[in-house]
Structure 1
Amino acid sequence: MQKTTTPHRLPARQLAAASSGNALEWFDWTIYATFSVYFATEFFPKGNDALALINTFATYALAFFFRPLGGVLLGRFADTRGRKPAMLLTIVLMAAGSIIIAVLPTFEQVGWLSPILLLLARVGQGLSLGGEASSTSVYLAEIAPADRRGRYSSFFYISTGSAVLVATVLGSVLSGVLDDAAMASWGWRVPFLMGGVIGLIGLWLRRAMPETELFHENKTAAQRVRNPLRVTLREHPRAVGQLLGFSMLSTLCYYTFFSALTPFAVSTRKADPEVVFLALSIATAVFIALQYPMGWAADRFGRKPQLLVWSGLTAVLIFPLSLLVTPALGNLVLVFTVGLALYTAMTSVAPALMSELFPTRLRALGIGAWYNLTVAVFGGTAPLLISALSEAGLPNVFFLYVTGAAVVAFLVILTLPETKGAELE
């Protein structure tokens, strides 16, 4: 594409359609974690609530590790069959999984068939999430004018943050309106049904999306590639290493602030859960609001300076911020807001940054495989790791671990070329 020289109008419907699947993915994953305490004994034998909850989270974690497989399979599908077909498939998989969970029979009704069906639904959603992350990232990057790719990319995490915020607020509202018996009986099914409705709306929006020009131009070349995963390592080892390096810190930031810090603040620092929720909600709103301005800044001043500020300040501040996690609302707002505001320097341009690493014929697969592997290894283990270290009386070790990841990311980012305004290969 040529650089824009006339006033530019964002394709709002196209951006909403592209982002809708991502919003559904994160809405569903958030409500599963939020409402699991209510439906755990619906799908697993009653009598040992702790064991039922552990099994429910084990199902959550197992599905999480299907993300890399989904990234490979659906990423290859997106490279050879099209970004649009892949995005239609991922939203169907996620919506179907959400509806299945909403109507699943309980353990008392069908025995062990109930948790088996739950696991299958979650596996389908795990595969979907792996494909959605890569397909949407690539689509947003490829439809954008070269000098506005950061701004288009920002819609990926605008949808993510909005979905997480809506899901957590919904959890708070339902648990406040319904008593525990109603929540355990049927209340937890409501958000999963809502997820199915969101999926249908997203599917309707996506049906009219145009395919990207870059895909059409490179479709034949992509189909000729044999052993594409091996090709990414053989022909683009530097890109793979760079993606792993900055994604490690990115996923640790996400799961530290959106997942791991909440139980840490409640269990280890004795903060009130409602106070922690309020602080995180305020910070999430800031996170959403900063995405587009930071995408604009990356288009104006470059990706590399922004990413160096993010990784450098995270290395310096993450440990001091951890010491400020106390029961006080002001401290918690400060910790969550500073951490997530810094993180927007990365999230606002993540789809653009990743897409600029690989050629079109390998782009969705390259992102899908290596980004999702990094998320599974480092992001998926973050809540478990901080909990285990806290139980061992070593909570500070986790934040030193994040500091080390930030140093690695800073060094990796130094090796990146500046791609502001560059045409995609």
Structure 2
Amino acid sequence: MQKAFKNTIYASLGGILEFYDFVLFVFFASVFAKIFFPQNDDFWPLINTYIAFGAGYLARPFGAIIMAHFADTKGRKKVFYISMLLMVVPSFILAILPTYESIGLFATFTLFIIRITQGLAIGAEVSGAWIFVSEFVSKKRVGLALGFISATLTLGLLLGNLATLAVYEYFTKEEVEKFAWRIPFIIGGFFGIFSLFLRTKLNETPQFKTLKAKNSILNFPLKDALKTHKLSMFVCALQTIVLTSGVATLMILPQYFESLLEVSKTTALYYQNLAIVMIILGSLLQGYLADLLGHLKICVFFTFLFGFFGILFSFYNEQFLMFYLFACFTQGIIAFAPIFMTQIFKTSLRSSGLSFAYNISYAILGFLTPFAINFLYKDFMHIYVVFIVLSSLLSIVLIKKFFY
């Protein structure tokens, strides 16, 4: 029990760092556009910054395929350490990277390399954490453990938000562009080094040890997964739709709060941080209840609650904040993505099959979701909410019929 707890805590740290960097890169995108790109005009530097950010997401599936293969053939622990290393080193380089004014296009090129390297690492980091933890804890605690992992990922968003607010609170705009933007990245870099040190203390999972002892390791696990686990991969895609809904409600929708609700930027950020706290609490509670009362029952119950409150907040009336926060709390159903995904693949190909299906789906959905929300948020947000509910319920039907 103590070993499982320790490994769960250590495994969660990489996800926190990923989402922390995610928020920082988005919030400081306008700064990066000014200091890392040639200033031909006001438009293209910012667009190029977002292209650099998106390059990391495009690299995710490649990282997933390569690193997940070695996780299935060489061991979860080794790959888990390497993925963390490939996140920490680029993060630290970004924190001290000279500007375009100092080193010219080499700064621009390095920024792209940093994002691509991080993307390769992230491709294996999150799904690797899910698998690592699920293979350590007992079946009776898998819901709570993976609910905790989901909560800590979201905690990274909160920490990134708070770090950004602190920088803009204590420094002027000129100071932020000159040096202050580096402070939260430097803090993240040191946090990453500490996390990397803790990863050296991880143990190999019992399930992989058993697999190795029985000489049951596959030569090409992804090839076998594509042949035998097509339905499992489809379920992963459905659950990834649910998972990306958290990004939609926590990160994309709040960008429109100022105009939608006629509130200040500070108030909008306050709403956003409250929403992040609610989804953290929702993930933990739903993971705990899933172990206690049954995964499918709890997922169905909170899926319908999310649909109910999601539709209500889409009216943007006087009760918006209450409905929005309740929707985010019930959106703790994101915790069921790792719970279901880790249970529907054989141990011998779990990392390859899950990582491939999840990261391909996430790369596509991560690209499309901002456009969808931009089109729907004002008058048709309820359509998106219904789409999430149907995706969740369909995945439950498939899991119940074929795997439980």
* Fold similarity call, TM over 0.5: yes
What's the TM-score once normalised by structure 1's chain length?
A: 0.88
- Tell me which residue corresponds to 2:340: 353
Q: Which runs of 5+ in 2 are unaligned?
A: none
Distance 2:261 2:372 in 1: 16
Structure 2 vs 1, CA of residues 17 and 149 (structure 1 numbering), >3 Å: closer, same or farther? same
2:105 paired residue among 102, 112, 125? 112
Q: Which amino acid aligns with 1:369?
A: F
Distance 2:60 2:216 in 1: 22
SS class of match (2:340): helix
> Is 1:331 aligned to 2:320, yes or no?
yes
Structure 2 vs 1, CA of residues 291 and 163 (structure 1 numbering), >3 Å: closer, same or farther? same
Structure 2 vs 1, CA of residues 170 and 58 (structure 1 numbering), >3 Å: closer, same or farther? same
Aligned positions of 1:72-111 closer than 5 A: 72-111=65-104
Structure 2 vs 1, CA of residues 419 and 203 (structure 1 numbering), >3 Å: closer, same or farther? farther
Distance 2:323 2:40 in 1: 39
- Tell me which residue corresponds to 2:126: 133
Identity in percent: 24
Q: Which runs of 5+ in 1 are unaligned?
A: 1-7
1:413 paired residue among 393, 396, 400? 396
Structure 2 vs 1, CA of residues 101 and 74 (structure 1 numbering), >3 Å: closer, same or farther? same
Q: Deviation of residue 91 (structure 1)?
A: 1.0
Q: Do the aligned partners of 1:155 and 1:292 also contact (CA within 8 Å) in 2? A: yes
Q: Do the aligned partners of 2:75 and 2:204 also contact (CA within 8 Å) in 1? A: yes
Distance 1:356 1:104 in 2: 42
For residues 9-48 of structure 1, the C-alpha deviation after alignment (integer angstroms, 9 at most, x for no partner) is: 6844322211111111111111111222222210112252
1:366 paired residue among 332, 348, 353? 353
Distance 1:307 1:144 in 2: 20
2:263 paired residue among 266, 271, 293? 271
- Tell me which residue corresponds to 1:377: 364
Aligned positions of 1:197-216 closer than 5 A: 197-216=190-209
Aligned positions of 1:180-195 closer than 5 A: 180-195=173-188
SS class of match (2:201): coil
1:23 paired residue among 16, 22, 26? 16
Q: Do the aligned partners of 2:286 and 2:332 also contact (CA within 8 Å) in 1? A: yes
For residues 384-416 of structure 1, the C-alpha deviation after alignment (integer angstroms, 9 at most, x for no partner) is: 3323x26xxx84345414422421331231221
SS class of match (2:399): coil
Distance 1:94 1:43 in 2: 20
Distance 1:261 1:10 in 2: 40
> Is 1:48 aligned to 2:41, yes or no?
yes
Q: Which amino acid aligns with 1:293?
A: L
- Tell me which residue corresponds to 2:387: 404
C-alpha RMSD of the superposition: 2.3
Q: How many residues align structurally?
A: 403
Q: Which amino acid aligns with 2:281?
A: A
What's the TM-score once normalised by structure 2's chain length?
A: 0.93
Q: Do the aligned partners of 2:15 and 2:153 also contact (CA within 8 Å) in 1? A: yes
Q: Do the aligned partners of 1:98 and 1:195 also contact (CA within 8 Å) in 2? A: yes
1:340 paired residue among 328, 341, 365? 328
Q: Which amino acid aligns with 1:341?
A: F
> Is 1:255 aligned to 2:247, yes or no?
yes
